Amino acid sequence: MGGIAVLARQAGHRVTGCDANVYPPMSTQLEQQGIELISGWDASQLAIAPDLWVIGNVVTRGNPLMEAILDRGLPYISGPQWLAENVLHQRWVLAVAGTHGKTTTTAMLTWILEATGRQPGFLIGGVPENFGVSARLGAAPSAGAPQPLFVIEADEYDTAFFDKRSKFVHYRPRTAILNNLEFDHADIFADLAAIETQFHHFVRTVPGTGRIVVQAGGRSPGGSADSALERVLRRGVWTPVERFGNLSTAANADLTALNSPLNTANSTQRVDAPQGADWQASADGAGGSAGFEVLFQGVAQGWVQWSLMGEHNRHNALAAIAAARHVGVSPSEAIAALASFRNVKRRMELRGTVREIAVWDDFAHHPTAIQTTLEGLRTALPGRRVLAVLEPRSNTMKLGVMKAALPDSLRSADAVFCYTGGLGWDVAQALAPLADKLHCADDLDLLVAQIVASARPGDQLLVMSNGGFGGIHDKLLRALSVTPGAA
């Protein structure tokens, strides 16, 4: 909703808004864009008398302002529908869907298009460092000119209290990425099959001249993501599909033997691709260099040289490269652009280092994302202790639906510190398999004290939450600067 507010402002509208709890980076972005924010939902806000009320999906029946709008018969619309009718219908939409990686992949794709001169508009569920804002209109539609491009993070969450379809059904993309699919959002979906149905509806909106980019078979964190996507496609697909995945162990060995990264002289060398995958990535550092090799239908396209961590980011990059190719960006151009990609705030963002103790911030809140993030940090910094700091605050986590999967997702951490405030289930009991690794507290200051007492030089403090977490990152950095670490 904050991004939609920015787009409306850029389109020339006066925009105000209200919410219960807005925190950085979105609160900062709204302030910088000159968008007035009112705390809370009070019927007295009717005095603002806007031409249209744009309603986010957090608003429910019983909300005092919403009830006043309904009583007065005032015009209202959902955020996704407003966006579709006022922005997207004149643009070539590239939409990124999936349980994990939507924000990062959307940011990667947007940066590829920007770096290659396409001037895309975008709406991203975070603030990409390359742009400093989460949304912009981009190039304007013009008679006789090609359709301008618009990249959007396509969320499967419901649209509004009066429209229970997934938000992405409104976007009608010409290019669509399906990154992965697992069960989530237990507050609105009964099971994985219900989410698959919404993805099926999404697939139905992509034209026959479009392109769908899908994660191929192979290992997927959580185990079920790929099969769920295949079930979605088996229900009907009317659009050409390209798949992406990892190279096999043998193929990675082939790349090493070819002294990757490959140069122009041997760029037509072929290696075995995983079954069904058009796009493949080598393992991190295959051939003894940072980054990874990209192949399309077995032919090397180039080497992505970057500092991002983890297999999940290699998958994100492949998806972005494939989608960009559909709008005319060559793989070599896309690969070059990714070298200057700077990721998104709160996606493995290093918040600071004190006495050689690093504090990282990540948005991970689903067990699969937690496990993947931990593994990525461990691979990037071998030999360092990783202390996981978790706030289970998503609606799904608050319901306790994922609690059985949490111990395995956190097992690779050297210690786990969990904030238990506001939960209706017993965290200590659910995470008991972690034994002595586990530390719980329902008081944030106490949790900070526990972490600081345990930390020592070289440790990586990985903070994971999809909320503000009470400003714990700054609290940790301040406490570390004045408190000696554990021996």
126 by DSSP, 3-state: which? coil
* The pLDDT value given to residue 470: 82
Find out whether 171 and 93 touch, Cβ atoms under 8 Å. yes
Average pLDDT, integer, range 447-462: 92
Average pLDDT, integer, range 364-371: 81
Q: Regarding predicted confidence, which is higher, 363 or 83? A: 83
- Give me 336's structure tokens: 């070059």
Global confidence as pTM: 0.76
Average pLDDT, the chain: 85
* The pLDDT value given to residue 451: 93
* The pLDDT value given to residue 144: 79
Average pLDDT, integer, range 7-17: 94
* The pLDDT value given to residue 269: 41
- When pLDDT is cut at 50, 70 and 90, the band that residue 406 belongs to is confident
Residue 344 has pLDDT above 90, yes or no: no
Average pLDDT, integer, range 403-415: 85
Q: How far apart are CA 384 and CA 455, in angstroms?
A: 12
333 by DSSP, 3-state: which? helix
Q: What is the pLDDT of residues 214-237, one digit of tens each?
A: 998 643 444 444 588 999 999 999
Does domain 2-78 match CATH 2.160.10.10? Answer: no
- The amino acid present at 359, given as its one-letter code, is V
Average pLDDT, integer, range 137-156: 90
- Name the percent of the chain lying above pLDDT 90: 52
* The pLDDT value given to residue 285: 56
* The pLDDT value given to residue 483: 65
Residue 253 has pLDDT above 70, yes or no: no
- The bridge status of strand 279-281 relative to strand 175-178 is unpaired
In Å, how far are 164, 417, 427 from 354, measured between CA atoms?
46, 19, 30
Q: Which class would CATH give 349-482?
A: alpha beta
Tell me if the bond preceding 261 is cis, omega within 30° of 0.
Answer: yes
- Name the percent of the chain lying above pLDDT 70: 88
- The amino acid present at 252, given as its one-letter code, is N
* The pLDDT value given to residue 243: 95
Residue 209 has pLDDT above 80, yes or no: yes
Q: How far apart are CA 303 and CA 317, in angstroms?
A: 12
Q: What is the pLDDT of residues 77-123, one digit of tens each?
A: 999 999 999 999 999 999 999 988 899 999 999 999 999 999 999 99
* The pLDDT value given to residue 111: 96
* The pLDDT value given to residue 177: 97
- Give me 394's structure tokens: 């998503």
* Domain boundaries, given as residue ranges, for the chain: 2-78, 87-338, 349-482
Average pLDDT, integer, range 266-274: 41
Residue 270 DSSP symbol: B
Q: How far apart are CA 250 and CA 247, in angstroms?
A: 8
- Give me 383's structure tokens: 């030999």
- The amino acid present at 112, given as its one-letter code, is I
- When pLDDT is cut at 50, 70 and 90, the band that residue 68 belongs to is very high
- When pLDDT is cut at 50, 70 and 90, the band that residue 213 belongs to is very high
CA atoms lying within 13 Å on the CB side of residue 410:
33
* The pLDDT value given to residue 290: 67
Average pLDDT, integer, range 131-152: 90
Q: How far apart are CA 39 and CA 65, in angstroms?
A: 12
Q: How far apart are CA 272 and CA 251, in angstroms?
A: 6
CATH superfamily of 87-338: Mur-like, catalytic domain (3.40.1190.10)
Residue 308 has pLDDT above 90, yes or no: no
Q: What is the pLDDT of residues 154-206, one digit of tens each?
A: 999 999 999 999 999 999 999 999 998 887 777 788 888 999 999 999 999 99
The domains spanning 2-78 and 349-482 adopt the same CATH topology: no
* The pLDDT value given to residue 211: 97
Q: Which of 100-104, 111-115, 249-253, 451-455 has the lowest mean pLDDT?
A: 249-253
Average pLDDT, integer, range 274-282: 78
Average pLDDT, integer, range 137-155: 90
Find out whether 246 and 218 touch, Cβ atoms under 8 Å. yes
Residue 23 has pLDDT above 50, yes or no: yes
* The pLDDT value given to residue 164: 93
